[in-house]
Amino acid sequence: MEETTNQKDQDSDVRDEQATEALVTVPAAATELTGMNVLDPNFTGLPPWTAADYAASITGSGAWKLADSGVAPLVAAARGYARIDKTNYDQMARKMQVVGNSGQGKRFKRTLSAPGKDGMLMPWYSLAGIMKAQREGERPVPHTYQVRPEFPENNDAGKPLKYEFVSNIGTPLDLHPAVPTDWIDTTPVVMFAEGMLKGDSALSAYLVHNGITYSELRSEGVENPVAKLRELLERIPQDERVLIVSIGGVYNASGNAVDWREITLKDRIGWIAFDADIAVNPAVHAAANKLSTQLLDKSKMSEVLYLNPEVTAEDNGAMAKAGVDDFLAKHGNWSALINQLDDVMPDAPAKNAEDKPGNWRVGKGGQFVEECVAVNNGAGGTIGEYRWEKRVEIGGRVVAMEARRQPTDQELKTGIFNPNVKFEDIDDAQVEIEVSWHLHGRDYTATVTGPETILGYKPEEWDRKKAAVPRELLLHPEWPPRGAKGESWLSAIKANRPDEVAFKTRWMQMGWVPVQDGDPVFLIGDQIVGDVEASSNVLPGISAREIDVIQKYGVGENIAGDYDDEEYRDEVRKNFRKIMDTYIHAKAWTDLSTATVVLAAALRPTIPIRPKATVYVWGPKGKGKSWTAECMMRFWARHRGDWHEELPGSAKDTAAAMENAVARTPIWVIDDLAPSAVRRQAEQEDAKLADITRAIFNNATKLRMNADMTVKKSNKPMTQLIMTGENELSTPSAKERLIPLYVGKGKLNQERTPTDALNTIASQYGTPARFTSQLIKYIRYAATTHPGGWAAYVSALEIARIQLKDQMSGLMKEMGAASGSLERTSTLAADVMLTFFILENLARELDMDDEFIEQFAVDGEMSMSVIQLVTNAHAENQQAAPGISLVKALAALLASGEAHVISGDDPSRPPIEGTEQSEAMVNSRLGWVVSGGDGSLRPSGKNIGTVVTVKNRATQEYHKVVLFSSDTAFSAAQKAYPSLIQFGQGPTAAWSSVWDENLQPPFITRLKNGRGTPLSPWRQGRITGVPIEVDRLLDGGLSIEDLPEPSTED
């Protein structure tokens, strides 16, 4: 550990913050200790403190508790204990970031701010946070806070909440802020105290033991308590130093993984100071044993000793256990405490109930079940003894309870495994019951599996509850135990070795998943990309029953290596360059935007944020659409050659199968949306893909109901979706939510070398999949070393995506993109190009050259090509907007002769006369056809509007304008052109869109009613309708800038 050069400045900042937390008046006689002889340097008896001695920093119930725990006033002031009551509750609640309307926030307000009530604020500092502050020259700030109300409320179990951490933050490995940072890795001994008060009480006694007088540990008149306490600590010789850290209870010992990575424990001695109830609480004992195992096996400490001090409890000399703070405050000093160090943990407390008639249990050896029977052999026929008699020649135990589910959104954001998820978040819950027996001279063991609900039914009913019972057990003459015997047998099975029941989570999706007591790992097929230790706690749940091509999913045949190994880094550099050369620089795709999206989308699933963008590869048959999708899937191949001429999904799959696939795989391809001879089938397939595209963009799915009218559990999509088809999707709302890639003639390099290289790099070397595993490991490495850990890293990625969207939106506007749905389009581009943000950071981590790094910049050639691609797609999508679609349909309807418009001057005559163009041609485009031998024109189809002449007052020119009948015109256009005006769209919204898209003549102003509501119809004289200029109709509904260039051919 490096020594800080500005420690005093940091100390001052801590002091200033603490001063604002508790502004109190110091009583004149608050520090009179001379009557206790504490000024004697040799006085090392019990702490003499009273509540008044803490008045410089804290008063009230907290001061009393600090004195009762033997925490020195200087130690308390340097940490920043503070009083909370009605005078400062609002300020303190904001400081603690307590959610006011939460259950905890309301409870805090009741117990801390009500008249006559107060509490103590206890700031917990993270060891990693202190080190980060030291490295950056900043003051350390608390990681979280704990509150001790004077009058606590009870929890749901009826027990008082004496100490309560602020919710949803987690508990750190706490270090007192005055402890010099160079102690963290250098002291011979590290003491782990369960709870802050125990740690600070131990620190106080430790200082006195090392020659610091009680007088020096007073806080009144000390301007900078942190600096003063650090000065006292630095007097202690190095070989006598003990690093005292606090944990928020043995259950939370490994709660903040980043703290444990910040301290080197190997070859040091550990002392664990338990709470007193370790000898009576089996759960506390088990948790303490887990911590001990962690320190010895994982942290490689040379020795672990245990402090569970005993004190005389009664006049008869009986002994009882005491907590460290109680011992040091009331019974003995530091020397007396460490004299009770033991190299053996206290015995685990008894777990079994006393013998009781009618109790059943699994017998010794586990192969039978017996009942406790009272033997009436006492005087007068009373019970003289108890005897256990065999009842069923089959024993067993519950081995595991397994929840099968997907990670929750909160788990993915924080990286913290939640063992207590809501019932509705669980797909399925299974139980494993190990059954043992001895029959015909042989020992047998079998495993019964089934829904965990079978534990509520007698064994004779298990088959109806869909339990799987092995055939050898079915052959046992006593199987199943029936009736009351079956109930008692099951009770004994449940009670047999309950502490050994494993509670497992089997993950029913691939991708990032949380790990209990560890950092997230990435599941793909049968592979787990992460550290080896985490892999033992992670169970992949996807099988061929859920995804039939699961065996092809993976990231290559070798996932070994980590970023602490320079040889591994060299391999990543080599693979990185090879991927960029073959996928981008070799120009296998002639359009740079296509190659860029292929690479970015293929690697997008590595990022721990759900994708939003769907990539749609379309073009003529046999031009490389499916091959392009294969090139993306090769990054996710388990073996070389996987995904060759095969893709995971098809447009023929059912909607339910598609919903299942996109909810469980990191990347999925729906291949071959082709034209169909059956109209209904084509429409259904188009609708399926439109629905799935919207679901991915909106991170939503269809809600369905159970038979009892409760909501059926639905899994949200999490995949990077790629679709291929011969034609574009017809649904406008879906087109706005995807990135189109056209792969047609000339879109692949005419030379075979670049495309062959893409095949070779995957089939012979497996480089794409190997690089995917290396990118996943980089993301995990970056997240776990990021300040704040996984949650902060994911938050940073979310911010990066938002910043990318803003940058790309600005660039698209500079390219002339209309506002329209620009927000949605820039979101798509930013989502897929977030991959380049990661690749740029990876290149920097690997110290690659500037030219290589700069190619991933937002204003670089690759990113700009994608921005141009989505800008062009955005412009095309604007032509499918509701208003322009309606106008195009009306123009086509009139030109087809299926409808007509009449003249507002004379309905019997054609509406247009005296134009420079052919009069007959113009009128024919407005629904008037030639009839009879004289060449006269007559209207065709139904009348849908009236042509009027409107004067442009600005230019004094006259224009021909059609006033369309709102209902008649819309209905006729929708019936004739449902592909342009889809069913479900109404006339009111469509005509309003005509105005919103500025398709009306620019010299006509929209009218409003008396309430100020805009109206779609416009009126001239007695004629009312929605105005569209005749010239626009003659041009097919398009504006001049959208028309194709005129031909120059003769």
Task: Report yes or no on 354 lying in a domain.
Answer: no
The answer to whether residue 31 scores a pLDDT higher than 50 is no
- pLDDT at site 289: 79
Is pLDDT of 477 > 80? yes
Domain assignment present for 383: no
Q: What is the mean pLDDT of residues 638-648?
A: 93
Say which range, 29-43, 601-615, 844-858, has the weakest mean pLDDT: 29-43
Instruction: Please report, for the domain that includes residue 731, its CATH number.
Output: 3.40.50.300
Q: What angle do CA 873, 876, 882 make, to 5 degrees?
A: 125
Note the pLDDT tens digit of each residue in 780-824: 999 999 998 999 999 999 999 999 999 988 888 887 766 656 788
Whole-angstrom distance, CA of residue 604 vs CA of residue 599: 9
293 and 167 within one domain: yes
End-to-end CA distance of the chain: 83
**What was the pLDDT predicted at 660?**
93
Higher-confidence residue of 87 and 289: namely: 87
Residue 531's pLDDT is 74
Residue of 325, 340, 259 lying closest to 75 (CA atoms): 325
**Average pLDDT rounded to a whole number, residues 1019-1031:** 92
pLDDT digits (tens, 9 = 90+) for 837-895: 999 999 999 999 999 999 999 989 999 999 989 888 877 776 677 888 899 999 999 99
Please tell me whether residues 487 and 577 are part of one structural domain.
no
Range with the poorest average pLDDT among 75-84, 222-231, 371-380, 826-835: 371-380
Q: How many structural domains comprise the chain?
A: 5
In degrees rounded to 5, what are phi and psi of residue 778? -65, -45
In a domain, 361, yes or no: no
Clarify whether residues 806 and 940 are in a common domain: no
Residue 1050 has pLDDT above 60, yes or no: no
């308590």: which residue's tokens?
Answer: 225
**How much is the pTM?**
0.61
Q: How far apart are CA 49 and CA 58, in angstroms?
A: 13
Q: What is the DSSP string of 221-257?
A: T-S-HHHHHHHHHTTS-GGG-EEEEEES-GGGTTS-H
Which run of H or of E encompasses 102? none
CA 266 to chain centre: 33
Max avg pLDDT among 49-63, 371-385, 815-829? 49-63
Pair 112, 225 in one domain: yes
Helix, strand and coil percent figures for the chain, each rounded to 5:
40, 20, 40
C-beta contacts of 67-71 below 8 A and 24+ residues apart:
68/329, 69/197, 69/198, 69/200, 69/201, 69/325, 69/326, 69/329, 70/46, 70/201, 70/204, 70/205, 70/325, 70/328, 70/329, 70/330, 71/197, 71/200, 71/201, 71/204, 71/325
Secondary structure of residue 183 in the 3-state scheme: helix
Same-domain pairing of 429 and 479: yes
Residues 599, 710, single domain; the answer is: yes
Q: Is the dihedral of CA 647, 652, 656, 662 positive or negative?
A: positive
Smallest Cα–Cα separation from 703: which of 715, 693, 694?
715
Last residue of a domain, one of 308, 323, 338: 338
Decide if 643 contacts 728 (C-beta within 8 A): no
Beta-strand pair 667-673/649-650: parallel
**Position 28 pLDDT exceeds 50:** no
Residues 873 and 891 grouped into a single domain: no
Q: How many CA atoms lie within 13 A of 684 on its CB side?
A: 10
Closest CA to 791 of 588, 520, 541, 1018: 520
Asked if residues 449 and 432 have their Cβ atoms less than 8 Å apart, the reply is yes
Average pLDDT over residues 600-605: 97
347 part of a folded domain: no
Which is higher by pLDDT, 158 or 237?
237
Residue 700, pLDDT above cutoff 80 = no
Domain boundary among 473, 504, 535: 504
In the structure, what pLDDT confidence band is assigned to residue 34 with cuts at 50, 70 and 90?
very low
Alpha-carbon 1026 to chain mean position: 50
Position 820 scores a pLDDT of 59
Structure tokens at 16: 């200033």
- The Cα 979–Cα 730 span in angstroms is 7
Is pLDDT larger for residue 437 or for residue 811? 437
My answer on whether 955 and 970 are in the same domain is yes
377 found inside a domain:
no
Higher pLDDT, 1046 or 575: 575
The verdict on 526 and 542 lying in the same domain is: yes
Whether residue 593 sits in one domain with residue 526 = no
Q: Tell me phi and psi for residue 1008, to 5 degrees.
A: -125, 155
Does the bond joining 480 to the residue before it have cis omega, within 30 degrees of 0? yes
Percent of the chain clearing pLDDT 70 (strictly above): 88
Q: Based on the domain organization, do 830 and 710 belong to the same domain? A: yes
pLDDT computed for residue 971 by the predictor:
93
pLDDT digits (tens, 9 = 90+) for 536-594: 678 899 999 999 999 999 999 999 999 999 999 999 999 999 999 999 999 999 999 99
How confident is the model over 943-1001, as pLDDT tens digits? 999 999 999 999 999 999 999 999 999 999 999 998 888 777 789 888 998 998 889 99
Interatomic CA distance for residues 559 and 637, integer angstroms = 12
Which range among 35-39, 168-172, 593-597 has the greatest average pLDDT?
Answer: 593-597
Residue 917: CA atoms inside 13 Å, Cβ hemisphere, count?
10
Domain enclosing residue 714, as ranges: 566-877
* Position 357 in a domain: no
Residue 946: Cβ within 10 Å count: 21
* Residue 379 is assigned to a structural domain of this protein: no
Angstrom distance (rounded) from CA 403 to CA 434 = 18
Please indicate whether residue 801 or residue 700 has the higher confidence score (pLDDT): 801
Q: Which residues make Cβ contacts (< 8 Å) with residue 940, sequence separation at least 6?
A: 897, 898, 899, 900, 927, 928, 929
- Place 218 in a pLDDT band, splitting at 50, 70 and 90: very high
Average pLDDT in the 472-484 region? 96
Q: Do 26 and 220 contact (CB within 8 A), yes or no?
A: yes
**% of the chain with per-residue pLDDT over 90:** 64
Beta strands in 64-142, from DSSP E residues, in sequence order? 82-84, 119-124
Q: Is the pLDDT of residue 725 over 60?
A: yes
In Å, how far from its chain's centre is CA 279?
39
pLDDT score at 383: 64
**Is there a domain that residue 346 lies in?**
no
227 and 297 within one domain = yes
Contacts of 823 (CB under 8 A, 6+ apart): 809
Examine the fold and report which residue of 310, 338, 366 is the final residue of a domain before the chain moves on: 338
Average pLDDT, the chain: 87
pLDDT of residue 734: 78
